[in-house]
A and B are shown apart, each in its own frame.
Chain A
Amino acid sequence: MTQGLGPELEHTPGRSYDPTQKPPPFGRQLKQYFALDKEYVNLNHGSYGSLPLPLLQESSKLAFEIERNPTIVAKLIGSDVDEVVFVPNASHAANKVLRNFEWRDGDLVIGPSTTYGQAFNVLKYLSDRSEQPKPTLVSIQYNFPLTDAEIIETFRTQLRQYKREHAGTQFTDVPSLSPGFTADVSARKNKIVAVIDGFTANPGALMPWRELVRICHEEGVWALIDAAHSIGQEPNINLREAQPDFWLSSCHKWFFAKRGCAVLYVPERNQHLMKSSIPTSHEYTGTNFAKQHELPSHTHESALALREWLGGEQTIYDYCHTLALEGAQRLAQVLSTKVMDENGELTVYMPNVQLPLPIEKQPGQVYSPELIAEINALFTRQLLLEWNTYTTHYFHNGAWWCRCSAQVYNELSDFEYLGKALVATCENVVEKLFS
């Protein structure tokens, strides 16, 4: 138990930070600014984030002023302040958008097969209505490893395929930037809404989402970008340029904000669709987007200040990205397997490495859903409780993989340690479940 680490007003070494002094180098020495257990080798920053101590201390103060500052985030993502609101988490943001659409029978909603489980479930829920109106749910199949070019081709091909299959439907309700957009409401029949991952979760891959948005524009498809992992990881997000119809990201993952804080971006041209916040607010009048979402932004200024002090976004990117690539190579060596991202396109801070477990060429050949669940549970317990380390682990396209997170407090040796842990755990899995 971390006794005596109470918040203090003075900057004391190791407890808060002195902005007039240079920060220590990235790696082991930065761990003191995070509240993680000393011995815990955290290679899973991506799941829940890790709140730096200065921010944790600040949030403990009784007199903690909750700042409303969408300006910081808007600037970071290249949008206007009035196009950005804060919501509790990414799932909430996705639900806000998808549940505000007034669906009609015949509408298509497209999710990627690799979409975060919870995001996919809201699509399912909407299409599961026992009566009208319910959109039809279809999915784009992504089987990694894939290159950017392959991802783009997959998306374009399958999208066109679905349009062909539903050729009898008049998809005339297109976004305002698409050809064929009409201001005549009565002329708008059905619509296609695509949920596109900016980053997939498992695998952790940066998607060529800008290109996918462009395809959506051409094809008259509404594009919601689930970029939960983007803010604080993806460099140069420029929404004004990319022009997605909706975009969302978690601030408490890579941006060092306190759990739970996410940002939802809705460009002005689409705000009329977001009729109500969720829950509906006192300020509901039918459309006033920003006013309906007045929520605190939880330490954004402090998070930004800390990141600036550490060296700024570019410095953080350079360190974490390099470590992600090198760490993955080292891990693959230790495991005698391979990295998923062969040409480096898919990786920012989260590399994916194959695990030394049997591969299946046909679904069901080796693994049943029950076995997969058992293996996942075993991994969780052994890694966390016996080895005091973690990375997410998942079954995809016939093989087992792990997704690591490279953060400013990580070093190459962390990946080596993880490798050791994974070798032992996989041997255990094979012994227990395959003998």
Chain B
Amino acid sequence: MPIPKLSPTPGESYDASQKPPPFGHPLKQYFALDDDYVNLNHGSYGSLPLPLIFAVNKWNYEIERNPDVFHRLTYQSLLDKSRAAVAKLIGAETDEVVLVPNATHALNIVLRNFEWREGDLLIGASTTYGAVGNTIRYLADRSEQPRPAMVNIEYNFPLTHAQIIDLFRAKIREVKHTYANVQFTDVPPLSAGFDKNAVDKKNKIVMVIDSITANPGALMPWQEMCRIAREEGVWTVVDGAHSIGQEYNINLSEAKPDFWLSNCHKWLYAKRGCAVLYAPKRNQYIIKSSIPTSYEYVSPSSPAFKEKGTNFVMQHEWTGTMDETQFITVPDALAFREWLGGEKAIYDYCHQLAMDGGKKLAEVVGTRVLDEDGELTATMSNVQLPLPVEKKRGEVYTTEQLYQINNFLKEKLLKEWKTYAAHYWHNGAWWCRCSAQVFNELSDFEYLGKAFNAVCKEAEETILKKSV
């Protein structure tokens, strides 16, 4: 493992005046991963390129030279630079974008700022990320009023985009029917019936929509879903944790979600602890307080409120002392990506590899890819694992066995085979989710297939006690 110095030696960072090596294994040298680790799971935690590690370390020392100069005089303009760079990438204005520690945090900021009323509906999905689902549950779990009612859309993959949209639309219509006696007149600003000056807005429906689900790792038709929600007067909170750096051409001014968030430390090569929260100007009045509440909080009863409103951007500039190096080095991540070839080149390579790699993996393990027509794949591919399938829950596996298998796969893959892809139980079958990155090649998928064949066989023999 290389121990970073403050100044990289040749090859440890990159020479901007030289052409980059081609995509694939030659790029491994720019990442801090163990040489022998076949990483097909970039999607979970990201992987920090060496140039970023150096940039962050430099800042660590720079900040300690004079913490007061940094925090009081230098920091804000650096943060603004990062925000501007991210905003440009996602088709938003700089002042619609703030940086926060992670997607879960961003999601909590939005959902906890809504002032819920009895009768409100908060809609998630069966595929919603665990902590997000739990946030929704927590809000609905209040022991007394007010609490929104929690509703879920069932998504059982494989599904096409058309099917997803149908399920989505049907659920909205269903809840409106079920709760026909509730007046859902608190609609988002772009929806029909929005009245800025309405005094008593009654109830609202808020939906958390994944742009890319976690398990499976599937690209959703989220722009269309936002459009439908807008028509139906439903607030949209788009959980795009996986999007920035993976989804090409995100254009939020066009898609117009009510809120959108993404992790920069997943696919954008930023240091862990950096996510973006997008709140268009028309909706910033809803975000009354950052979490934690900041020095820059403006009380509606104060004279400053007329001028500053909820002070969205300034509130999120500072919410307590923390490590800020991940926020201020976002431009370094973007510069590195430009040098590699730029967003399109990265997307083209990774997308093609995800498609080809998924097919190859399915071949090696003798199963199938989840995404039959290519709609669901950005740069993550889902392949079924060679383990028994259930048509009815409980037919093959006890809950304990599912848990054991998950653990078994994790331990064996990481420790014995030195490779990894996220694995999960979904809709009666076992699947894996592979992440195609600029340092991956087809042979990585072949190796992973070999590993899965061996490990799954062992799992069946030892946990399911079957002779295979």
Which A positions have Cβ atoms within 8 angstroms of B? 1-7, 9, 34-37, 40, 42, 44, 47-51, 56, 59-63, 88-92, 94-95, 99, 102, 104, 117-118, 121-122, 124-125, 128-133, 250, 252, 258-260, 275-276, 278-282, 284, 286, 380-381, 384-385, 390
Contacts and interface: CB of A to CB of B under 8 A. Distances in A.
Contacts of B289: 121-122, 125
27 contacts: A1-B58, A2-B62, A6-B4, A6-B7, A9-B3, A40-B65, A47-B71, A48-B67, A56-B64, A60-B4, A60-B60, A62-B2, A89-B320, A102-B143, A118-B319, A125-B299, A258-B323, A260-B322, A278-B291, A279-B104, A279-B135, A279-B291, A280-B131, A280-B138, A281-B131, A286-B141, A381-B73
Contacts of A385: 69, 73
A125 B297 CA distance: 8
Which 4 residue pairs of A and B lie closest in terms of their CB atoms, listed nearest first?
A260-B322, A91-B320, A35-B64, A6-B5
Contacts of A280: 104, 108, 131, 134-135, 137-138
Interface string B314-326: 0000011111000
A117 B117 CA distance: 30
Given A35-B61, A50-B64, A384-B69, A88 B320 contact: yes
B294 interface: yes
B112 A124 contact: no
A250 B288 contact: no
A104 B4 CA distance: 53
Contacts of B60: 56, 59-60
Given A56-B60, A280-B108, A284-B134, A118 B288 contact: no
Classify chain B: how many residues form its interface, as a range. Answer: 35 or more
A90 B291 CA distance: 12
Classify the interface of chain A: helix, strand, loop or mixed: loop
A93 to B, nearest CB: 9
B292 A384 contact: no
Nearest to A60: B57
Interface string B1-14: 11111110000000
A62 B321 CA distance: 23
B62 A1 contact: yes
Nearest to B273: A88
Question: Interface of chain B, helix or strand or loop or mixed?
Answer: loop
Nearest to A284: B134
- Residue picked from B6, B134, B143, B292, most chain A C-beta under 10 Å: B292
Contact of A130 (B72, B293, B300): B300
Interface in B133-164: 134-135, 137-138, 141-146
Interface string B55-82: 0011011101111110111000000000
A118 B71 contact: no
A126 to B, nearest CB: 9
Given A5-B61, A279-B107, A284-B138, A63 B1 contact: yes
Nearest to B69: A384
Contact of B108 (A50, A51, A125, A279): A279
A49 B70 CA distance: 13
A99 B5 CA distance: 42
Contact of B299 (A1, A37, A128): A128
Nearest to B132: A280
Contacts of A48: 67-68, 71, 321
Contacts of B300: 128, 130
Nearest to A118: B295
B65 A260 contact: no
Contacts of B320: 88-92, 118, 260
